Each structure stands twice: as structure tokens, then as C-alpha cells.
Amino acid sequence: MNIHIPTPLRTYTDKQETVSVDGATVAEGLAALTAAFPAMQQHLFTAEGKLRSFVNVYLNDDDVRYLPAKEDSLVASTDELTIIPSIAGGCTLTGCCR
């Protein structure tokens, strides 16, 4: 499968935008990615091994968190995984920083 890497994490994949890995499930694909690029581990997962809350992983067009088997979802070699950090914010009632 191909895993698409977002701009800020390419520092840890030798600038590669797309990484091709082997694996039968989403979890195996991510494990192969972090095995090849160990620095990715801390950026994708918490110390407890959970996917960080602001890191979204999509299997083709589906959010892995909402798939029935979640990270154990089966992946074909032609499937694409996309890692995409969330983007959010806003001017809260507490005011803005200067």
C-alpha cells in the first residue's frame, strides 16, 4: 500500500511524500512505516501506543476511526493510506494573544 505523508512529517521520511509499505491491515502498514522511519513513531502515536488525537488516518476516503475494524481493517496493495493532522482553531472568548 501507499501511505501519503503530510508536509510537516516528511522531515522524518527523507522528504518522501509517498511511502510504499507492505502490510495486510492499516495497523500493519503503520507499523511498517514506523519501522522504516522510527522518528515517525512519536509523531503518530502517544507513549501508550494510541494514535494521537489530532492525527487522522484515512483508508482511501474513509476515516479509519469510523471503520468497523478500525486499525485492523484489511488493506489491499492498491489501497492508499493518508495521514493528515487536523487543522482547527479560532478566536475563543478568552481573547487573543499578542
Partner 1 sequence: MPLIIPQPLYNQLRAHGEETYPHECCGILLGNSDADHLTVCQLIRAGNTRTDSAHNRYNIAPQELIAAQREARKHNLDIVGFYHSHPDHPAQWSPTDFAEAHWFGCAYVITSVDGDKTTGHAQLTNSFLLTGATEEDKAFIPQRIEFDSPASK
- Of the candidate residues 47, 66, 78, 90, the single one contacting partner 1 (CB under 8 A): 90
- Of the candidate residues 13, 24, 28, 58, the single one contacting partner 1 (CB under 8 A): 58
- Of the candidate residues 11, 20, 22, 74, the single one contacting partner 1 (CB under 8 A): 11
Own/partner contacts of 6-14, CB < 8 Å, gap of 24 or more, are 6/83, 6/84, 6/85, 8/85, 9/40, 9/43, 9/83, 9/85, 12/37, 12/39, 12/40, 12/43, 13/37, 13/40
Tell me the window of 25-33, 48-56, 70-78 that interacts with partner 1 (CB under 8 A): 48-56
Q: Is 72 in the site for partner 1 (CB under 8 A)?
A: no
- 493532522: which residue's cell? 85
Would you tell me which residues interact with partner 1 (CB under 8 A)? 4, 6-8, 11, 17, 42-43, 54-56, 58, 61, 63, 82, 84-98
